[in-house]
Amino acid sequence: MQYKSQAVAKPYFVAAIGLFVGQIVFGLIMGLQYVVGDFLFPALPFNVARMVHTNLLIVWLLFGFMGAAYYMVPEESETELYSPKLALGLFWIFLVAGALTILGYLFVPYATLAEMTGNDILATMGREFLEQPLLTKIGIVIVALGFLFNISMTMLKGRKTAISMVLLLGLWGLAIFFLFSFYNPHNLVKDKYYWWWVVHLWVEGVWELILGALLAFVLIKVTGVDREVIEKWLYVIITLTLVTGIIGTGHHYYWIGAPEYWQWWGSVFSALEPIPFFAMTVFAFNMVNRRRREHPNKAAVLWALGTGVMAFLGAGVWGFLHTLAPVNYYTHGSQITAAHGHMAFYGAYVMVVLTLISYAMPILRGRAANSPRAQVLEMWSFWLMTIAMVFITLFLTAAGILQVWLQRISTAPLSFMATQDQISLFYWLREISGVIFLIGLVIYLVSFFVKGESRVGAQ
Amino acid sequence: MSGTFTKSMARNIFYGGTVFFFLLFLALTYDTNQALPKRDNSQNLTPEVIAGKKIWETRNCIGCHTLLGEGAYFAPELGNVYVRRGPDFIKAWIQAQPTGAPGRRQMPQFHLSDKELDDLVAFLKYASEINTANWPPNIEG
């Protein structure tokens, strides 16, 4: 660790991993409810399990991004963090607020939770991924502003690198676009239009800047390739991202009441959105090929390369499959969407956070890399989780194609529920894949506790 | 080649490109906003519909259902349920949940009043009349 204050990243990473485990447990519950429809009903209805699953995902990734920033920025800026105390304080505030929110979802009827938490003052609840009470949303803004203040002040007093600037831009963008979660018009079309200014402009916009910065940072560290080369690539990638992704927002505007020219704007620009992911994959493999050193942390290199590939497949390829309006007309709101969503989130954001943790955690614990035994276990977990996710995606894609055929294309269409019955085999296969994923995750946890001789000593 | 395309050039193209396309997006948003009244059924955005939207939100219907194709994929699309089933069926269905059918996906009982049910139905009717470019492809959603 080059700067003492980088240590504040550790609790953020630990919280991230803990919440990740929670997310997967609830994912498995939902997967079972898909086929055993009354599983845990009425104690845990599907929609409650779902909001816990999705909100945990978002919050653990945010913990991951913040931990990554606290680790990266002092090193990039060549100065200690502005306020480690603030970082630790905000950690506990975010963790406690998050835990209370999840407990609220689980133990308080949603309508009552809304009444208790000021939804009648400003109605922001009840939209997908934005289920948080008003108080929680305000808390998120406060924590985000405190975090951004801390990171920005650190950068102001130190060296400004392309990596830290791109990271900061992405993080400020994340905070600014989150403000649209407070705007909930009565007009349903406007409601949906601006909802995507949070969701799309996050995951197909500013989050990709964060992804690029994290990946570039790890690649510099593990390959030793010249910073100028890597940072130029980073600018190219984020240019491709925003040039395609901003107007690409239109691929969410085909069927929600917006003007029909969005079918053209959205199709053309979003069809190009895989390009930055392709570039990222080529970039990662190229840098590793041109490496000037053999870094002892093989696991981190594997995660970095895997991120490029899976992000390209999940976000790029699977996204492309259903992005063109004539295709999307039939697949909109089907299991195709779920298939893409899972692989995209895992490939792009789960994997980049795990890449950063893989690189940074050993250093935070006093060594350049974990022992070979620990790394082997970590690499096993990489393969199990990644291959499991590929199968989850394949099974949901199969389910989705059948669903679209039976419910929307066939000349004798079945109802939604009858269709779901017909495709239940694929939901069972998905659930089995989910169990493999969980096994991979457990092995991942174990890898943190495996000792054995480290080839390289403390740094 | 890499001598001519420098990091600074890449950075400037990034800033220029982002600003250009963001401004274009704002222009398209402005135009969309102007065009909405002809498509969004907002002339039927009555106090009942507004109250119905609030019920939709505070019972987290989107947590199981889709609305205009967006939401969760556990239960049917409701953007066109008003056309598919009609107001009386919708109210009766909501009042009759859960079915308790073994193994069947279950919907909670929300204990909605008659007014709340009417408001929710008004919201679903309003949603069904938005011009969604002929989506969904058929009545099943």
Gap between the Cα atoms of A49 and A34, Å rounded = 12
User: Helix A274-289 vs helix A207-223: angle between axes, to the nearest 10 degrees?
Assistant: 10
Inter-chain touch A186–B7, beta carbons under 8 Å? no
pLDDT mean over A287-302 = 96
Q: Is the pLDDT of residue A456 over 80?
A: no
Give me the pLDDT at residue A454, please. Answer: 59
The tens place of each residue's pLDDT in chain B, 141 residues long, gives 456 899 999 999 999 999 999 999 999 999 999 999 999 999 999 999 999 999 999 999 999 999 999 999 999 999 999 999 999 999 999 999 999 999 999 999 999 999 999 999 999 999 999 999 999 999 999
Band of residue A455 on the pLDDT scale cut at 50, 70, 90: low
- A436 neighbors A384 (Cβ within 8 angstroms): yes
Q: Are strands B66-67 and B70-71 parallel, antiparallel or unpaired?
A: antiparallel
**Main-chain dihedrals φ then ψ at residue B77, nearest 5 degrees:** -65, 135
**What residue has token string 């309508």?**
A111
**What residue has token string 């050039």?**
B9
Q: Which of the 8 DSSP states describes residue A414?
A: P
Alpha carbon separation from A137 to A118, A133, A140, A186, B54 (Å, rounded): 11, 6, 5, 19, 18
Give me the pLDDT at residue A459, please. Answer: 45
Task: Give the angle A103-A108-A110 at the CA atoms, nearest 5°.
Answer: 110
Could you tell me which of A282, A344, A334 has the C-alpha nearest to residue A313? A344
What's chain B's Rg over C-alpha atoms? 22
**Chain B interface, best mutation among A122, A228, A256, A404, by max B CB count within 10 A:** A256
**Main-chain dihedrals φ then ψ at residue A300, nearest 5 degrees:** -65, -40
| Residue B44 near chain A (CB below 8 Å) | no
Total residues belonging to chain B: 141
Q: Is the pLDDT of residue A253 over 70?
A: yes
pLDDT digits (tens, 9 = 90+) for A120-156: 999 999 999 999 999 999 999 999 999 999 999 999 9
Total residues belonging to chain A: 459
Q: Which two tokens stand for residue B84?
A: 């598919």
pLDDT mean across residues, chain A = 97
pLDDT mean over A73-87 = 98
Cis peptide leading into residue B76 (ω within 30°): no
Could you tell me which of A38, A61, A63, A36 has the C-alpha nearest to residue A346? A61
Give me the pLDDT at residue A458, please. Answer: 47
Give me the pLDDT at residue B1, please. Answer: 47
Q: What percent of chain A has pLDDT over 70?
A: 98
Inter-chain touch A193–B59, beta carbons under 8 Å? no
pTM above 0.90, yes or no: yes
Inter-chain touch B138–A413, beta carbons under 8 Å? yes
Gap between the Cα atoms of B123 and B138, Å rounded = 20
Q: Is the pLDDT of residue A36 over 70?
A: yes
Nearest chain B alpha carbon to A249: B25
Q: Is the pLDDT of residue A195 over 60?
A: yes
Q: Which amino acid is at A323?
A: T
Gap between the Cα atoms of A317 and A259, Å rounded = 27
Q: Is the pLDDT of residue A415 over 90?
A: yes
pLDDT mean over A397-406 = 98
Band of residue A452 on the pLDDT scale cut at 50, 70, 90: confident
Gap between the Cα atoms of A239 and A231, Å rounded = 12
* Portion 81-140 of B in contact with A at CB < 8 A: 98, 100-106, 108, 110, 126-127, 130-133, 135-140
The alpha carbon of residue B52 is apart from the nearest alpha carbon of chain A, in Å, by 10
* Portion 69-88 of B in contact with A at CB < 8 A: 69-77
Q: Of 1.10.3470.10, 3.40.50.2000, 3.20.20.10, 1.10.760.10, which CATH number belongs to B42-128?
A: 1.10.760.10
Inter-chain touch B14–A238, beta carbons under 8 Å? yes
Task: Give the angle B39-B43-B45 at the CA atoms, nearest 5°.
Answer: 105
* Portion 1-40 of B in contact with A at CB < 8 A: 2, 5-7, 10-11, 13-14, 17-18, 21-22, 24-25, 28-29, 31-33, 35-36, 39-40
Gap between the Cα atoms of A197 and A142, Å rounded = 20
Gap between the Cα atoms of B50 and B44, Å rounded = 10
Q: Which of the 8 DSSP states describes residue A252?
A: G
Q: What is the ipTM of this complex?
A: 0.98
